[in-house]
Structure 1
């Protein structure tokens, strides 16, 4: 008696198989300053040193546990200009101009030390916005104080591109703890939302002419 052949399941199996294409998120800045997140095929497989957490945050690479996105100098500049326009249109911008314009301290200021700005390549959009806004505020402060001031920035999260971009603006980027050595009686220190160790390091040196920071009332050395 002839045996009956079983129906072939190859066709059904092939229909069920799906091709999986691994992708990573990329961010594209349009002409109006909006950042769009899109998926792009990752044909190279896993990049050495790239962590899963970075991919989840839309990052392209990791340095010292911090996730960053890839940027060109021009892309970094365009995104900064976008956030700068928003800062200049804010009430806070007008307030800081008025405060510095009325104060006598600006006559004493000979240099500016900017601590803890954060990276303009941070993988978190909110992080980049905060860093760009702080940088825009710094430029507002300098416009009130007058040109010709030495401006020194220090943050361990700065990338090589951050250093390059800040240098193109005429600022000097240094490594920890060199910036603290530049704090003198005629210095404006700009340190927003920094760790307590940063404020302690400032308080250990000469009292600056102006300190723009967070909860400075906790440090008696800066009380009048």
Structure 2
């Protein structure tokens, strides 16, 4: 079975690859979404209560659970956990899902925050059920309001202020960060985690302005050399270009100091 069909494989680097027109369209849409999300700031006048946020979240969560994306991802997690030398995960960190009550009132921002949070929660729950061990859930989002934090508490998350979560990463941690800036990845991956879910090396190497010495590419290349990978199934571009990196237990866990 080829990698496109869901097989876990050793990460390989691909050079000289052309980008198909459809993929270019996806990348353009992703850049538009990122531009919108990058302008998000804490809402100075929150309008939603924690109960109202939870009601919307439950609707999005139901969409996530019946999606083909989640069905495919469950199969991949089952295969990954069946590997005898896989990582032992004791904590999971969700980076920058976005505010649940955005200041600009954007439905895209709100749905993206809830869908990523639903995906994170279900992935952790799946790993817990397969390992039989409790996994601590942590979330870090600078755009959260106090109501957002209260809602996260209802989901069983510990909310930490930036950059607190970065120092919590070790070889038993799952790091979940969708479409983050490379500098954020550099800080989060100063110590390589057990599992990383985010934009992979291949995605960064497609960008014209990426140079080998950019912060964050060092950790990416270390995972590229040591980890297995699986392409995270997409869902309406919300997870486009996302990769699951799965550490092999016993491989050297190198620490890459973040750039100044």
With the shorter chain as reference, the TM-score category is 0.5 to 0.7
Residue 137 (structure 1) aligns with: 119
Q: Which residue of 2 aligns with 1:184?
A: 170
Cα distance in 1, alignment partners of residues 86 and 117 from structure 2: 19
Q: Where do residues 1-224 of structure 1 align in structure 2 (5 Å cutoff)?
A: 64=41, 70-103=47-80, 104=83, 107-122=87-102, 123-146=105-128, 148-203=134-189, 205-217=190-202, 218=204, 219-223=220-224, 224=226
Q: CA deviation at 1:64?
A: 4.7
Higher relative contact order (CA 8 A, sep 6+): 2
Shift of 1:72: 1.2
1:153-196, CA deviations, whole angstroms, 9 ceiling, x for partnerless residues?
10101110110010122110001111011110111100001111
TM-score between the two structures when normalised by the length of structure 1: 0.67
| Moved beyond 4 Å, runs of 4+ | 63-69
What displacement does 1:144 show? 1.0
CA apart distance, 1:116: 0.8
Measure, in 1, the Cα distance between the counterparts of 2:199 and 2:100: 21
CA contact (8 A) 1:113 1:153 kept: yes
Distance 1:89 1:192 in 2: 21
Q: CA RMSD in A?
A: 2.0
Q: Matched residues in 1 for 2:48 and 2:197: separation?
A: 30
Whether contact under 8 Å (2:171, 2:194) holds in the other structure is yes
**Structure 1 residues 64, 80: CA separation in 2 closer, same or farther (over 3 Å shift)?**
closer
User: C-alpha distance in 1, partners of 2:86/2:106?
Assistant: 35
Structure 1 unaligned spans of 5+: 1-62
Distance 1:182 1:202 in 2: 9
Equivalent residue of 2:126, what SS? helix
Structure 2: any 5+ residue segments left out of the alignment? 1-39, 205-219, 227-260
What secondary structure sits across from 1:188 in the alignment? Answer: strand
Q: What is the number of equivalent residue pairs in this alignment? A: 161
Change (3 A) 1:106 1:159: farther
